[in-house]
């Protein structure tokens, strides 16, 4: 495979920043959903309430679902009121 001047594959820059951001948001939403127990599936509204907190508090843990969940629980006192209400249920 050929490389560009920076030594990267030409495919390395095919995802734009907005696309990467959108994919990251989708990954967080999927992560929050997958982290729910079998008896509690997060609704789209609940995901919306916690996505900002997940990025703010646990962004470094993305995409590891278990680590995001652990991080959110460890940072419960820093969660927004709306997101706390999701975890209280």
Q: What angle do CA 42, 21, 89 make, to 5 degrees?
A: 15
Strand, helix or coil for residue 38 = coil
**CA atoms of 55 and 24, how far apart (whole Å):** 9
Total-model pTM: 0.54
Token pair 């990267």 is at which residue?
8
pLDDT confidence of residue 53: 93
| Structure confidence at residue 89 (pLDDT) | 72
Of 15-24, 31-40, 48-57, the one with minimum mean pLDDT is: 31-40
Under the banding of pLDDT at 50, 70 and 90, the label for residue 77 is: very high
pLDDT, mean of residues 39-68:
82
């Amino acid at each position: 495979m050929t490389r560009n001047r920076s030594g990267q594959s030409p495919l390395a820059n095919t995802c734009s920043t907005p696309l990467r951001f959108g994919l990251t948001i989708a990954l967080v939403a999927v992560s929050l959903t997958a982290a729910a127990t079998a008896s509690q599936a997060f609704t789209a509204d609940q995901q919306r309430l916690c996505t900002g907190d997940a990025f703010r508090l646990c962004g470094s843990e993305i995409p590891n679902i278990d680590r995001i969940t652990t991080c959110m629980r460890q940072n419960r006192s820093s969660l927004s009121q709306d997101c706390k209400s999701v975890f209280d249920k």
